[in-house]
Amino acid sequence: MDATQLFIVLCCAGLLLTGAEIFVPGGVLGTFGGAALLGAVATGFVAFGPQRGVLAALLILVFLGLSIILWMQLIPRSGIGRKLTLTVDLGASKSASTPWKEWVGKEGVAVSPLGPSGVIRVDGRRLDAVAEGHWIEAGSPVRVVHVTGNHLTVRAIQPSPATDAAS
């Protein structure tokens, strides 16, 4: 492969890889694309000489800028672009807020061991919780004793002697 063919291959690969960066974010493809374009610039100086090498480098920069603008204009209108981009203004939206304070005093069961954190079930809902002070075994009855923000603190409920006698 002569220098002119290598120049064309590096230009095409660089533009394709930088364009693919839109679909696979993370910087890897864009970095390889940038490196290929820099290689194309260096190869342009070898293939075309110093004067045309500068012209090739300028054309690569202009073409890269135009292709980025073209990607930004066409991708949001394509089927894949509509799936990748946000089309709804979420400025006025609010998160689904649960009135966490109403959980205080409710009783449930530890689904997992709480040592100190784990999962409980209260009123049919699975909730993340933190045990107050002591390890709580899975299956133990618990009561929500405190809420800070959306963090539930629970305490093990000691079974009453009447409950034990009935079993």
Give per-10-residue mean pLDDT for the chain (167 aa).
91 87 82 93 92 92 85 79 72 62 91 91 92 90 89 84 52
What are the start-end ranges of the E strands in 15-162?
A: 107-110, 117-122, 125-131, 141-148, 151-156
Amino acid 161: pLDDT:
59
pLDDT of residue 126: 92
What pLDDT was estimated at residue 91? Answer: 66
pTM of the model: 0.47
**Maximum pairwise Cα distance, the chain:** 98
Query: Is the Cα dihedral 63, 64, 69, 70 positive or negative?
Result: positive
